[in-house]
Amino acid sequence: QGTSQGFAHAKAILFGEHAVVYGSPAVAVPLHGLGVQADIRRSPHQETRIESQLFSGTAQTAPEPMGPVVAGLNAALKAVGDPDAEVELLIRSAIPHSRGLGSSAAVATSVARAVANLHSTAFDEETLHEIVQAAETVAHGRPSGIDAWAVAKPAPIRFQTGCAQTIDVGQRLVFVLADSGHHGSTAEAVGGVRARRDADPTRIGGMIDRLAALTDAAVDDIRSGDRATIGARMIEAHGLLGEIGVSTPTLDSLVDAATAAGARGAKLTGGGLGGCVLALADDDDSAEELAEALRKAGAPRTWTTEVRPT
Ligand code: PMV
Question: Mind listing the pLDDT tens digit for each residue in 121-151?
Answer: 999 999 999 999 999 999 888 788 999 999 9
Q: Which of the 8 DSSP states describes residue 22?
A: G
pLDDT < 70 stretches in the chain: 1
For 164-190, the pLDDT digits (tens) are 999 999 999 999 999 999 998 888 999
- 100 alpha carbon – ligand 1 mean position (Å): 7
Nearest to 212 by CA among 41, 48, 17: 17
- 215 alpha carbon – ligand 1 mean position (Å): 15
What does the alpha-carbon distance between residue 75 and residue 285 come to, in Å, rounded to a whole number?
Answer: 44
What does the alpha-carbon distance between residue 305 and residue 214 come to, in Å, rounded to a whole number?
Answer: 22
What does the alpha-carbon distance between residue 299 and residue 179 come to, in Å, rounded to a whole number?
Answer: 5
**Atom nearest to 12 CA in ligand 1:** 3
**Helix, strand or coil for residue 21?**
helix
Structure confidence at residue 93 (pLDDT): 97
Q: Quickly list H helices, the chain.
A: 67-79, 103-118, 125-140, 146-150, 186-199, 201-224, 227-243, 249-260, 284-296
Structure confidence at residue 101 (pLDDT): 95
190 Cβ below 6 A of ligand 1: yes
Structure confidence at residue 293 (pLDDT): 98
pTM, full prediction: 0.94
**C-alpha separations of 305 from 31, 139, 176, 286, 295 in Å:** 6, 26, 6, 13, 16
Instruction: Among 29, 31, 147, name the best residue to mutate to test ligand 1's pocket (greatest count of ligand atoms within 8 A of Cβ).
Output: 147
103 Cβ below 6 A of ligand 1: no
User: Do 270 and 103 contact (CB within 8 A), yes or no?
Assistant: no
Question: For 110, what's the count of Cα atoms within 13 Å in the CB-facing half-sphere?
Answer: 27
Structure confidence at residue 144 (pLDDT): 86
Structure confidence at residue 1 (pLDDT): 60
Structure confidence at residue 187 (pLDDT): 87
What does the alpha-carbon distance between residue 224 and residue 81 come to, in Å, rounded to a whole number?
Answer: 44
Structure ipTM: 0.93
Residues paired with residue 10 on neighbouring β-strands, in sequence order: 31
**Helix, strand or coil for residue 23?**
coil
H or E element at residue 31: strand 26-42
Structure confidence at residue 142 (pLDDT): 78
